[in-house]
């Protein structure tokens, strides 16, 4: 039988979100119903609300979540009722060209649940990133559930479902930061500060945090930044070069997603260094660089999707580090809120007051 639960809906472009009763069907083959315990409020949810992703309204928002598997459908073997899981939007298919080449972290055909969740009148909902976890329960593809140690705090663990994993992975996976490297992170919101933490985990010797907001720079210092740069009062490129012996950083992670900051990242890297774009640009943005500079500086220009993570590999490992006290995921949880406070949390994002607001259910 289907279930009726509360969830946060974005009904139209730019409209305030509201809590509605939604209908969650029983899981079909390859699907699972998860009782959500915690879900972070991510900028991607705001992009959905503002129509920046697509216009398939109404959306069921929320995707950065952890909870307990309640039901599974036919053929599901990877998780069982009672399992504590982190939800992910990369449920690898195993069949696409990336998977067949042994690169499942780039899977081009990830799974979502086939059945829709609906409003009471039958209107189908579009779940954010195929998850829709600002809800008491959600229906997902079973492959979107990654089992982890249940000793972890749901509020902290759920953040690996998107932003924190994106940042850590940008440093560790995409940027391949190594022991003794110099790393600069431009933009120190949730993703950028997670990149700082990832660089520290990887053994970087120098970690330079760049932002306009001194509060964000203070948080970056607490997570492992060795130096900070106030982008409002200093030349970012020249300062990073000065801090790296005049050369530039080995890896520069751009966590803003704007042409201006990308150009800073490009020129702030060492020759043959790596630029990692993990900030998400909007569709109208364009970038212009002298092609001779692209050629002459060598190195690598990379984009990082979801921190190039493989949830089945990365989530359990990072949760183990968290439980050992070696990965401070709790530092990203600025506040805990209810479902009816999501709209207010979006407003706080604009003010830079939080790393993450986390909905507890």
pLDDT at 1: 77
Cα distances from 106 to residues 153, 173, 290, in angstroms, run 28, 12, 29
pLDDT at 316: 98
Same domain, 282 and 184: yes
Same domain, 24 and 133: yes
CA-nearest of 112, 136, 109 to 126 is: 112
Same domain, 113 and 146: yes
Task: Give residue-wise pLDDT tens across range 254-280.
Answer: 999 999 999 999 999 999 999 999 998
Same domain, 195 and 297: yes
Rounded to the nearest 10°, the torsion over CA 177, 319, 147, 84 is -150
Same domain, 240 and 354: no
320 located within any domain? no
Same domain, 210 and 287: yes
85 located within any domain? yes
Structural domain of 134: 3-161+328-360
Q: Which 3-state string (H, E, C) describes the chain?
A: CCEEEEEEEECCCCCCCEEEEEEECCCCCCEEEEEEEEEECCHHHHHHHCCCCCCCCCEECCCEEEEEEEEECCCCCCCCCCCEEEECCCCCCCCCHHHHCCCHHHCCCCCCCCCCCEECCCCECEEHHHCCCCECEEEEEHHHEEECCCCCCHHHHHHHHCHHHHHHHHHHHHCCCCCCCEEEEECCCHHHHHHHHHHHHHCCCEEEEEECCHHHHHHHHHHCCCEEEECCCCCHHHHHHHHCCCCCEEEEEECCCCHHHHHHHHHHEEEEEEEEECCCCCCCCCCCCCHHHHHHHCCEEEECCHHHCCHHHHHHHHHHHHHCCCCCHHHHCCEEECHHHHHHHHHHHHHCCCCCEEEEC
Same domain, 94 and 191: no
Task: Give residue-wise pLDDT tens across range 271-317.
Answer: 999 999 999 888 899 999 999 999 998 899 999 999 999 999 999 99
Same domain, 189 and 102: no
Integer Cα distance of 209 and 308 in angstroms:
22
340 located within any domain? yes
Residues of the chain with pLDDT under 50: none
CATH number at residue 296: 3.40.50.720
Split into its structural domains, the chain has a count of: 2
Same domain, 131 and 83: yes
Same domain, 109 and 52: yes
CATH number at residue 30: 3.90.180.10
Q: Which two tokens stand for residue 186?
A: 């431009």
Q: Is residue 69 within 8 Å of 79, Cβ to Cβ? A: yes
pLDDT at 181: 98
Integer Cα distance of 190 and 331 in angstroms:
10
pLDDT at 47: 87
CA-nearest of 35, 185, 22, 186 to 117 is: 22
Same domain, 148 and 29: yes
pLDDT at 57: 97
């Amino acid at each position: 039988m289907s279930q009726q639960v509360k969830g946060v809906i974005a009904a139209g472009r730019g409209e305030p979100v509201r809590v509605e009763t939604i209908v969650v069907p029983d899981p079909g083959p390859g699907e699972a119903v998860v009782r959500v315990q915690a879900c972070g409020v991510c900028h991607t949810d705001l992009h959905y609300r503002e129509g920046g992703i697509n216009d398939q309204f109404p959306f069921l928002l929320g995707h950065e979540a952890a909870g307990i598997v309640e039901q599974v459908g036919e053929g599901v073997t990877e998780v069982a009722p009672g399992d504590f899981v982190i939800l992910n939007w990369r449920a690898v298919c195993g069949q696409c060209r990336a998977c067949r080449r042994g690169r499942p972290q780039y899977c081009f055909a990830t799974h979502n649940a086939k059945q829709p969740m609906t409003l009471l009148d039958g209107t189908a909902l579009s779940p954010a990133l195929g998850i829709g976890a600002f809800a008491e329960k959600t229906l997902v593809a079973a492959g979107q559930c990654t089992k982890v140690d249940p000793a972890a705090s749901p509020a902290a663990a759920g953040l690996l479902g998107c932003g924190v994993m994106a940042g850590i992975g940008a440093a560790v996976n995409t940027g391949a930061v190594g022991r003794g490297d110099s790393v600069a992170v431009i933009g120190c919101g949730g993703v950028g500060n997670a990149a700082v933490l990832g660089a520290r985990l990887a053994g970087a010797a120098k970690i330079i945090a760049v932002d306009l907001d001194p509060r964000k720079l203070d948080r970056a210092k607490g997570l492992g930044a060795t130096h900070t740069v106030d982008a409002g009062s200093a030349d970012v490129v020249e300062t990073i070069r000065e801090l790296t012996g005049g050369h530039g950083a080995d890896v520069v992670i751009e966590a803003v997603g704007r042409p201006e900051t990308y150009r800073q990242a490009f020129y702030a890297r060492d020759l043959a260094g790596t630029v990692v774009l993990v900030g998400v640009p909007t569709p109208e943005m364009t970038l212009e660089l002298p092609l001779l500079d692209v050629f002459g500086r060598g190195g690598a220009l990379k984009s990082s999707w979801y921190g190039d993570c493989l949830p089945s590999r990365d989530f359990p490992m990072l949760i183990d580090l968290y439980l050992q006290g070696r990965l401070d995921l709790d530092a990203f949880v600025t506040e805990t809120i209810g479902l009816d406070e999501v709209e207010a949390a979006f407003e706080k994002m604009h003010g830079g007051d939080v790393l993450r607001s986390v909905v507890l259910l």
